[in-house]
Chain A
Amino acid sequence: MSNQADLGANRWRRTDDWDDRPLRKDLFAAEDPESGFSAFHGVADPKPGISIVDGKIESMDGVDAADFDMIDAFIAMHHIDVDIAPEAMEIPSEELARMLVDMNVPRTELTRLSRGLTPAKLAEVVAQLNAMELGFAYSKMRARQTPGNQAHVTNAKDDPLQMAADAAFAVALGFDEIETTMRVARNSWSNALACCVGSAVGRPGTLFQCSSEEAEELEIGMAGFTSYAETVSVYGTESAFIDGDDTPWSKAWLAAAYASRGVKMRCTSGAAAELLMGFHESKSLLYLEARCLCLQRGMGSQGTQNGGIDGAPLAASIPGGVREILAENLVAVWLDLECASGNDARHSESDMRVGAKIVPYLIGGSDLICSGFGSILKYDNSFNPSSFNGEELEEFLVLQRDFEADGGLTTVEDTLSLALRHQAIGALSHVLSDLDLAEVSDEMKRSVAVASGSEDTDSFDAGDASEISEKIRARGITVLDVIRSLHRGGFVEEAENLLFLVKLRLSGDYLQTSAVVRDGKVISAINDPNEYSGPGTGYRVSEARRKELAAIRDELTRDEVLRFEAASQGAESKRIEYRTMGAAKAGTDPTEIVVGISPGFGTKFYQTTAGHALSAVLCALRGGIEEEGCTMRTVRLLHTADTSFLGLSAARLSGSGVGIGIQSKGTAVIHQRDRLPHNNLELFSNAPITSLDHYKAMGRNAAAYARGEMPEPVVVKTHGEALGARYHARVALIYAIETAMTENNAPPEEIDVQFLGGSS
């Protein structure tokens, strides 16, 4: 390559630009199936198969029963239905794949067949679907019809006051479940009490869990503070399972233990956990997940937290990893499990990757779209930053509105947020004091109520929480003590809400698949089954719900635009006066520049979208025109509000043949009388970034054209702002009002502009 030109650099600078983007903080791993880096095609993935003799499984997925590891053994004993397996395994994978996306094949038929399918077969089937098909099949196959969502409520100080306030806010947003965990392990009881009280504010029925060490989590559940658990993790290789210090039998034991105490539970598994733990056996992410999910069904778990989870960032570093996450979620719901579908641990520093990943779940729905939406700020999330956090909450609300898709959340007005936070802080402060756990000062309460995150608070820290936690544990305080305390303090509604929640465990109704509480009633895959069978079926956003989804903060309306303009009317009337002098005539002065203003200019609208007073804009134009030795004549055009026609009409009235057309919103054009309407001399289409200096330069150039020169065009530099997003809603409202003011064939009016010297 010796003849390559000397460019003085060995790298295109665009590559530097790319390096600076958040995306490039992400690592991308090369596909390496031998080393376990394969989403769908592990070198050691077995071919699907099963051999059953006299109702006994002799081999499964290429392994003889005598060689089964403990995972194979558990799946063979507890997942495979030997009556269904011969029929189900006989169906070609392509056909099963088609059935998954066929709206005419009922979900229940597919879940029936799944009981006879081996992990390798399940993986082989879903691997045939592209991302769109996976998303569609997931939406068809998920268990409960009404979608829901789960929040993380934690903070960096384990401050119980903030936890209570944030829990109350999460409840108001509509989360069906709230999960907390601790910065310091021994703070679990304090966190549990705080979230438990906070989640009883506003409405009853939000389920709550405290992710903790297995035995302790069970104890906290038995004390009545928590209502569900999802930390029962399973793994897809025997070595990883043992390294996780459990077996399928020990985990299944826990599943029964939670149910025996009336506590809802689900297991957890996700792609790449085995890879992270170093025991991948050269098998693909998907195949290992299929094993995990068969295990979970076999254990009798009602559901799973599944879809990458802590391994999501690693899974997403592998080619096809995000598609694989969708695929494993599909296996989960095909196996008839409730699916809390991940979308928690943030898989990328790129907001765009995060936004893209959530879309299938948002539009297709999921039992719990996020198994941990960070309802708090990123730095307060004691799990890890989530895909969506307190920072990005409004983005999620807007995505719901964009797609008219129910992500389970609803905008909470600021005054209500503050009131709920105040109430939660009050309730918990009372309980802490009443049960002699801690004293709370008014300053602490105030600092927490308005704090966005723990960096803004002057409240309890992790050490204080440890003391509180130890007292709760040592004194054996239960939810009944808390209910009584709340009642004593006058927090009767919160006391009743909490009692409602603990009474749920008596019937066990919420132990069934995909159970959550809505409007004080348990809904699950039993009484709210997903029965999607094509357009018009399955979950549909009701009109009332659609309106809720639409009602985000600060929507712009026509009235609002007019109010905003009316507010500037007074000041502008002190700066400028537009005197109508009758019909405008064509001029003869070769030094005149006619400025054609739109119908509402200065009479209904008073500033450009950049915020410049229209008086100042006219003043700048005049300044530029006069600087170059020309004069400005102003006419109001009433037959059009279109920039091009404003400009051309002005030019045709102009003695120099050069005119400027300008709309109320500030869009302007320099035109010449002999040109076609859209073939102007200069167009200033980006009003929001057009400054007074630009208008002055526009005046100068118009004068130069009048003298027959060809000046350097004025360039309004953009910096890539999405001006349409920022202004078009307002612009369209303004423009509609202005076009309504036009009148066909109305003659132009001569305007005598008087600048009144009011400050502008």
Chain B
Amino acid sequence: MSDKSPGAMDYPIAETQPDRVVGARGRSINDLTIEMVVDGDVTMEDLRITPQALLDQASIARSVGRTMLAANFERAAEMTRVPQEEVVRVYELLRPGRAASRDVLMQAAMNLRDTYGAEKLARFVEEAADVYERRGLYRQRF
């Protein structure tokens, strides 16, 4: 396995470096055969993308100038550590009028940072908190 950040030449990773592709439980993609599935040895966790895979894709996207796509993959890499309920909860808070004040969003950001080490996501939520305040988005809608 190469430690070098992959670029366009390494794409698709699943073809050029299949060894690099593993699921959330560390199992290689090559081990996920139909027999293994049938035998019940494969779980949905084995089919979950890893932060490393997303960072690899970010690196490939950045190598061809797609910096914003890369930034999204980097946020996503952090989000792999965030449980589904929390992902949905923060999404809900980011919708207009859901958070009653800036503090609610700042609290969510702190939680992302402290609990999940999700620095980029935390900054993203903080950025929203500022704009929402300026645009009066903390008003109740229903």
Contact = CB atoms under 8 A, between A and B. Distances in A.
A253 interface: yes
Contacts of A176: none
A26 to B, nearest CB: 35
A507 B135 CA distance: 39
Contact of A249 (B49, B73, B127): B127
Given A247-B96, A250-B91, A511-B73, A224 B47 contact: yes
A252 B72 contact: yes
Contacts of A255: 72
Contact of A508 (B49, B75, B78, B95): B49
A112 B65 contact: yes
Interface string B93-121: 01110000000000000000000000001
Given A245-B95, A509-B11, A522-B12, 6 more contacts: A111-B65, A215-B92, A253-B90, A261-B49, A509-B13, A513-B61
Nearest to B35: A487
A108 interface: yes
A98 interface: no
Given A81-B67, A253-B94, A508-B49, A499 B131 contact: no
5 contacts: A214-B91, A247-B128, A257-B91, A260-B80, A508-B53
B75 A247 contact: no
A252 B77 CA distance: 14
A242 B34 contact: no
Most buried by B among A247, A479, A506: A506
A262 B37 contact: no
A224 B75 contact: no
A115 B67 CA distance: 10
Given A483-B37, A487-B34, A256 B43 contact: no
A511 B57 contact: yes
**What is the predominant secondary structure among interface residues of chain B facing chain A?**
helix
A480 B34 contact: no
B122 interface: no
Interface string B44-75: 10011110011011001100111111111101
Interface of A: 69-70, 73-74, 77-79, 81, 108, 111-112, 115, 214-215, 218-219, 222-224, 238, 241-242, 245-247, 249-250, 252-262, 297-302, 336, 478-480, 483-484, 487-488, 492, 495-496, 499, 502-509, 511-513, 521-522, 524-527
Given A214-B91, A215-B88, A480 B65 contact: no
A300 B21 contact: no
Given A484-B38, A502-B47, A503-B29, A69 B8 contact: no
Contacts of A77: 127
Interface size class of B (residues with CB under 8 A): 35 or more
B133 to A, nearest CB: 11
A509 B70 contact: no
A111 B67 CA distance: 12
Nearest to B39: A484
Contacts of A112: 65
Contacts of B21: 506-507
Contacts of B88: 215, 218
B91 A526 contact: no
Nearest to B125: A249
**What is the predominant secondary structure among interface residues of chain A facing chain B?**
helix
B44 A478 contact: yes
A298 B68 CA distance: 6
B127 to A, nearest CB: 7
The 10 closest A-B pairs by CB, nearest first: A300-B72, A259-B76, A262-B49, A260-B79, A249-B128, A250-B94, A509-B12, A507-B14, A260-B76, A256-B75
B69 to A, nearest CB: 5
B57 A249 contact: no
A257 B34 contact: no
Given A111-B65, A250-B91, A508-B57, A259 B73 contact: yes
A522 B60 CA distance: 15
A254 B32 CA distance: 28
B131 A70 contact: yes
Contacts of A254: 91
Given A247-B96, A253-B90, A509 B68 contact: no
A484 B91 contact: no
Contacts of B69: 300-302, 512-513
Contact of B91 (A115, A215, A487, A527): A215
A743 B60 CA distance: 72
A140 B22 CA distance: 37
Nearest to A522: B12
B21 to A, nearest CB: 4
Contacts of A257: 76, 79, 87, 91
A526 B64 contact: yes
Given A503-B29, A506-B21, A513-B66, A259 B54 contact: yes
